[in-house]
Structure 1
């Protein structure tokens, strides 16, 4: 998904560069025909581009310099008269149309950028969670090793004492609650799945099972056992609940309306709380904004 969006940005940039070059060519043709003074500044204004852009394009820069030098060598008496009011109105109309196209392109690129920013923020959160879990696992293993060193070895002649390794063998496949859940889902405990269950806390396995249940309730899972193994490896958890879903449903309807009214320009989660950004750059929680601007009254609000 991220690669496709980057490709879309690159295509949009190439298309914009092509249109800019075409505008410059048309501007030069009009200026030559109307006898206007050709310079980097005048061409930039007529074509609605920056002078820095003209200097960077070697072909355009060379052509402008040549035309400018040719004009300087001509006698002043032979210069063409200034453009008529009619030609000026044509230029203004053309520039306005090009301005509209540029604004539409900018808006499209802004939306793509917002989507990419949200994706990056999500990936950063996932990486931070993975690092935290690794640190916690390392600490738990350290504590386990310490407990093993402090525990006295079992007596060989005492049949009632069972070693930790034997207990682990008897407990293969997880606790009774895990086995009960897997039996209800008709999932057979393979060797791989059994090792995964033994390597992680019981809570992680139960959350992974809840994630599988949620997936089965909404779609057809071809390989439930494989899905569960991935859920355990990646510490998947089910959706946070109906309250967050309800908030997201309201947000999906509210945000486009608020943006059309120029109240907000972007959104993201800050410390797990959904926020929106005002045109002034202030981040405000979505809960506060929806109370201040309810959806029904927002639809009736006129754009300032």
Structure 2
């Protein structure tokens, strides 16, 4: 069972009781001063309190009973002097008493059922209910005593009036108790419904929080995994970046120092290719595979016949510039030899001033001499031989 803080309720109950005591005292004084009837029903109505509460206050109860009895004795003495013809018949009074007692029994039964139901709802006996039962027992004993005393009185009118008044008071009290217990029962049901709703909300909130906690754990796990992957990728990037930086630095060093790849240098040395700055720059500007192919072309031409290759460096430069590849046919080799010789002859003849330009027509090379006339290369080269031009022509 839930433990609730009842200090505020207890403080409110004390304030309510003090206020009820003051109102009750004022009501009793007012009724006594105005010489009105004083009983539990009248005082309860005047003070705005319940009869049950009046019965539970021992001092107030005794005072009301004392004032009521004094008024009753006084009224009885007055009624003794009334004529006999004004006294109601004892049979009529008896019928009224029986009817009122039956009504009292019915109300007591209903109130007992309500008290038992409230005890089941609370799960334990209510101290207020126990106190109410004790008060009712005291009241019952008091009524029996007064009834016994009055039954010995010869004045039937006084007896009937007293019993009638007390029975009406009892009925009013029981009806008030019934109304209060019904209201209390309704309030208890509402409190139980609210508690059940709060418990359901707390359970739902607990489930929601649990799900959120699980989701957060999954996200944290995924985040850790992602962080780990990012760290590994960053390390790989750093390694790659370091390698790239090293390669770039090596390239810069090679360019700044005019240094070639060791394999290219060794191959050039093996083939007898003389390297100068312009040829080195050309090699660096071409793809590595193209450089190797050009070296292979030179090597292939040398294998055919070294006498046919007049300038290895010139052959290598031409093969590199034109992207030649090895393993060509004899016709291709012959054409290449002619072209190689022509280019060397043309450079020397132009420097010497005997030709201006050249062109190819139908796989034939023709050159324009210094007079503007177009002449076949074979005729021009026979007049101006390559050996002669090598001796007399100076490259610009």
Q: Same fold (TM over 0.5)?
A: no
State the TM-score, normalizing by the size of structure 1: 0.30
Structure (1 or 2) with the greater helix fraction:
2
State the TM-score, normalizing by the size of structure 2: 0.24
